[in-house]
Amino acid sequence: MAHWANDAVFYHIYPLGMCGAPAHNDFSSPTVHRLDQLYGWLDHLQYLGINALYLGPLFESTSHGYNTADYYRVDRRLGDNDTLKRLVAALHQRGIRVILDGVFNHVGRDFWAFRDVLEHGEQSAYRDWFAGLQFGPRSPYDDPFVYEAWSGHYSLVKLNLHHPAVRDHLLQAVGLWMREFEIDGLRLDAADVIDLGFLRDLAAFCHDQRPDFWLMGEIVHGDYRQWANDQTLDSVTNYECYKGLYSSHVDKNYFEIAYALNRQFGEGGIYQHLPLYTFVDNHDVNRVASNLTDAAHLYPLYCLLFTMPGVPSIYYGSEWGIPGKKNNGSDAPLRPMIDLDTINRNAPHPDLPQAINRLAWLRRNAATLRYGDYRQIFVASEQFAFTRQTADEMILVAVNAANKPAVIPLDLPLNGATQLADLLNPGQTIPIKAQQIEIPAYWGRVLRVQ
């Protein structure tokens, strides 16, 4: 039986930003139920065809959510545990599954066990909870000890995931999230530097309680099979195709994304049976509208996202093509507060949500786009075509990044057919002339061949 994630269209929200939470947590202010703002977005999510929601970090932290202070309580800037419980229940009533951020590689300096080390020094019962912690040398914060930090950021203290008590603390937190909030999975932050033994333990723990619990890891480089396999994670982020999706348009070079898709999913492809998490932007990278040099390329780009192999995800606000670039190392411009009524009135690209609605509807109603084999048919600098095929059906996808219509050849067994069913426009057909079809400017065709 196929996993539910294979049929998912994700929406990714960074709650602290989207809900307008203060940048820093004083750990004393009263709880503010900012997560309740998301109820107003549920109709919009359903219009987009969303059936799974990835909520970024939610638990008590110092600032941006990835510097956890307490894994067992929702950040007071967003609400409390009951706030999240009610929200997940409302999403489930709409048929929308929920995954949360699991930040298990590191914690913030306000994490309760690290504060105990700061207070009690070598006498702390938690001194072995942190990787590389040694007394004597002084840290950049002038602590009387040093420790391993994530990527040189000493505000993020690496956990010692080999320590049994640390593992137990984290697994019990996940168990709480599964029981109390009834979540459907986790996205694992910085999975590339998490101990693989811990990932195996986490997978066994989660799948023992819920076999369909989905574990997806953040992986930027490397062979994805090292992390996504039967013992560890169900999926990982497809950063290779993320880059190819936008830069193929910027450089007028569809050969880049074609190469990546062939390598991953073509004949002999190394990830043919992995449902990789596909995206065009997220909370860590520039918004795709800012990466593109021609905003009209948003349309063929999203056409590719929804028809290529993988599990597609939309980052909040990008369905309107809002811009956002890192500024002097700050991610804040990538994670803005958004008011739904305001963005609907002032959207940079107001027609884009409708295009995404059509693509999501198409993917939901064409199992071949979710499960079919991938084969490249044609590639040029600004045109690209491939098929998705099952035993019962073949679908042709063709995109055109040029500013005028383009005609491409069809190297397909058409069996004398003179027209193909236009799946983006149900009930319509597209004529075939001399084994060729025309693709509109800045858009694509999704056609049923057989």
Per-residue pLDDT tens over the stretch 365-417: 999 999 999 999 999 999 999 999 999 999 999 999 999 999 999 888 877 77
pTM, rounded to two decimals:
0.97
pLDDT of residue 415: 75
The answer to whether the beta carbons of residues 336 and 17 sit under 8 Å apart is yes
The residue whose two tokens read 């995954």 is 99
Band of residue 200 on the pLDDT scale cut at 50, 70, 90? very high
CATH of 4-369, one of 3.40.50.2300, 3.20.20.80, 3.60.130.10, 3.10.20.740: 3.20.20.80
Q: Bridge-partner residues for 117, per DSSP? A: none
Read off the pLDDT of each residue in 343-364 and give the average, rounded to a whole number. 97
Q: Got the DSSP string for 123-173? A: G-TTGGGBTT-EESS--TT--SEE--EETTEEEEEEB-TTSHHHHHHHHHH
C-alpha R_g of the chain = 23
The residue whose two tokens read 């990527």 is 151
Read off the pLDDT of each residue in 65-89 and give the average, rounded to a whole number. 98
Distance (Å, whole) CA 314 – CA 309: 15
The answer to whether the beta carbons of residues 368 and 390 sit under 8 Å apart is yes
Measure the CA angle with vertex 25, ends 331 and 29; round to 5°: 145
Read off the pLDDT of each residue in 84-95 and give the average, rounded to a whole number. 98
What is the bridge-based pairing of β-strands 134-135 and 185-188? unpaired
pLDDT of residue 435: 86
Is residue 381 within a helix (H) or strand (E), and if so which, with residue range? none
Distance (Å, whole) CA 86 – CA 88: 6
Read off the pLDDT of each residue in 156-174 and give the average, rounded to a whole number. 98
pLDDT, tens digit, 9 for 90 and up, residues 17-28: 999 999 999 999
Distance (Å, whole) CA 108 – CA 303: 39
Least Cα distance to 183 among 53, 8, 35 occurs for 53
Angle, to 10 degrees, between the axis of helix 298-307 and the axis of helix 239-250?
Answer: 150
Residues found in the chain? 450
For residue 351, give both structure tokens: 């027609």
pLDDT of residue 333: 97
pLDDT, tens digit, 9 for 90 and up, residues 31-58: 999 999 999 999 999 999 999 999 999 9
pLDDT of residue 433: 82
- pLDDT cut 70: percent of the chain above it: 100
Q: In a 10 Å sphere around its CB, with 0-12 CB exposed, 13-18 middle and 19+ buried, how is residue 50 labelled?
A: buried
pLDDT of residue 431: 87
Chain centroid offset of residue 359 CA: 18
**Domain coordinates of the chain in residue numbers?**
4-369, 372-448
For residue 153, give both structure tokens: 């950021």
- Tell me the fold of 372-448: Immunoglobulin-like (2.60.40)
Which residues, other chains included, contact 286 with Cβ-Cβ below 8 Å and sequence gap of 6+? Answer: 324, 325, 326, 334
Which residues, other chains included, contact 302 with Cβ-Cβ below 8 Å and sequence gap of 6+? Answer: 280, 352, 355, 356, 359
For residue 247, give both structure tokens: 């830069």
**357-370 burial code (b ≥16 CB/10 A, e <16):** ebbbbbbbebbbbb
Residue 178 pLDDT > 80, yes or no? Answer: yes
The answer to whether the beta carbons of residues 408 and 398 sit under 8 Å apart is yes
